[in-house]
Amino acid sequence: MPTTADAALSQAGRSAPDRLLSVLAAFDHDHPALCLTDISRRAGLSLTTTHRLVGALTEWGALERDESGVYHVGLRLWEVAALAPRGLALRQAALPYLEDLYEATHENVQLAVRDGAEVVYTEWIAGRSSVGVHIRVGARWPLHVTGVGLVLLAYGDPELQKEYCAGPLTSLTPYTLTDAGLLRRTLAEVRRSGVAVSDRQVTEDALSVAAPVRGPGGTLVAAVSVVVPQADAQVPALVPAVRLAARGISRALGWQPDESRPRSGSRGAGGHPSHR
């Protein structure tokens, strides 16, 4: 365990905002409740500094302290986060179409956005008897391992794609895309067809089909997907349903399609690569 001297060295030279943010960053999905000592250790700050910053954050409402002295993320922080355009507003616009997609498939339905080299899930509807997935709202995964991530990467900036394909590609199953050349070809196929099919990349029993969600001017905003058991996945039947949901969300966000241009993927749903 780091000593007080270690913490002092760790926080030396760090700005006040950096120290404050490091306290908030100490909390994550695996650590939603922390005592003061744990916050100090995870933030790399001395106990004295941590006590002062936690006090300020608690007074403002970013953190809350329960009767046992353990701290949790406060509602004030949630209120501020809800103002993010890719957060609550996106979820509210998308929810009716996500519910329609769920009713059409009774499988897991997901909405996600890109944050750097990761996909972040902003909404998830779970089917009661559908395949199990390692997803929750706020969860993050590398872009290349999920259907929504492949969509967000395929329609992202070319420099992002170049940099991503050049970096190490995490492997989660024997079927995860880890070859840069194959990933580039897969991204080209996603752009051609307008959908992404991720086959057993996260778990060996699941397959996902995803499509892009656009905002005003055609800007890529998010991606929507359905996750089904791989063993009996009917991809040609899923593709139109996912496209319809993505198109509905896009229109709700202000997207106006150019009907004079052929729609992406008009040549049919066949030919999607299974990422093995």
CA 93, chain centre distance (Å): 17
Alpha helices in 106-201 (DSSP H): 147-154, 158-166, 180-193
pLDDT given at position 131? 54
Q: Which residues pair with 196 in a beta bridge?
A: 210
Q: How far apart (Å, rounded) are the C-alpha atoms in residues 134 and 132?
A: 7
H/E element holding 196?
A: strand 196-199
Nearest Cα neighbor of 6 from 41, 51, 50, 48 is 41
Q: How far apart (Å, rounded) are the C-alpha atoms in residues 29 and 31?
A: 5
pLDDT given at position 176? 92
Question: Mean pLDDT in the chain?
Answer: 85
Tokens for 113?
């956005």
Asked if residue 34 lies in contact with residue 23, where contact means CB atoms within 8 angstroms, the answer is no
H/E element holding 141?
A: strand 140-142
Q: Which residues pair with 228 in a beta bridge?
A: 207
pLDDT given at position 79? 75
pLDDT given at position 135? 63
Asked if residue 242 lies in contact with residue 266, where contact means CB atoms within 8 angstroms, the answer is no
Question: What would the pLDDT profile of 216-230 be if each residue is shown by its tens digit?
Answer: 889 999 999 999 988
Task: Please report the domains of the chain, with CATH numbers, ordered by start residue.
Answer: 4-81 (1.10.10.10), 88-252 (3.30.450.40)
pLDDT given at position 227? 92
Question: What would the pLDDT profile of 151-180 be if each residue is shown by its tens digit?
Answer: 999 999 999 999 999 989 999 999 999 999
Residue with tokens 């890529």: 220
pLDDT given at position 103? 93
Q: How many CA atoms lie within 13 A of 9 on its CB side?
A: 5
pLDDT given at position 267? 39
DSSP string, 114-127: EETTEEEEEEEE--
Low-confidence ranges of the chain (pLDDT < 70): 1-13, 82, 84-87, 127-136, 259-276
Nearest Cα neighbor of 102 from 122, 121, 130 is 130
